[in-house]
Amino acid sequence: MTKSRRINFDESIPRMIERLKSEHIVFESNLVRVENSIKMNNIKLATQIVQDMGEEIIQHAVEEEARLMRVIMKNAKDESSESIKIMQEHNWLMNFLNNRLTLIKNAATSSDPAEHEKAKGDLNEFVDNLRRHFKEEEQIVFPLTLRSESAG
């Protein structure tokens, strides 16, 4: 895993959002690798890819909460409920990375076919949820942040 970077509060919000979108593209390429590994029945590799992404995903989420939600709550609080719900999805993500991923890693080496299938299902759920989450951010959170930042 990479070393955490500090949040750059000097980075403009429009520039930050462009960077976050670029990070989504990189994450997506890794999600495709996870899917391909699952299709090849290589749960161990799929788990390793997710684990390798973990710290960057967490940093990404922390930045969104620290910077974007601050702008939304300051300048568009009455429009914030949907964005708040989307940011709360980070809790599921953290739980998956910190707890469920360990169980999946153990299942990857299990001789029990049921455990192996459950691990595949959990990894597919992670991929689907993360994709949906990125889409929601790009369609709801990012535009609201940009609108409210320019209004503030």
What pLDDT, in 10s, does the model give residues 70-93?
999 999 999 999 999 999 999 999
Q: Do the domain assignments include residue 7?
A: no
Q: Do the domain assignments include residue 1?
A: no
Q: Do the domain assignments include residue 84?
A: yes
What pLDDT, in 10s, does the model give residues 101-119?
999 999 888 889 999 999 9
Q: Do the domain assignments include residue 3?
A: no
Taken in order 98, 101, 106, 109, the sign of the CA dihedral is: negative
Q: Do the domain assignments include residue 142?
A: yes
Count of domains observed in the chain: 1
Q: Do the domain assignments include residue 121?
A: yes
What pLDDT, in 10s, does the model give residues 60-70?
999 999 999 99
C-alpha distances (whole Å) from 41 to each of 46, 60, 110 are 9, 29, 13
The b-or-e profile of 90-117 (16+ CB within 10 A means b, else e) is beebeebbeebbeebbebbeeeeeebbe
Q: Do the domain assignments include residue 113?
A: yes
Domain interval for residue 132? 13-151
- Planar angle of CA 17, 19, 25, nearest 5 degrees: 110
pTM for the model: 0.92
What pLDDT, in 10s, does the model give residues 110-144?
889 999 999 999 999 999 999 999 999 999 999 99
Q: Do the domain assignments include residue 25?
A: yes
Contacts of 105 (CB under 8 A, 6+ apart): 44, 47, 51
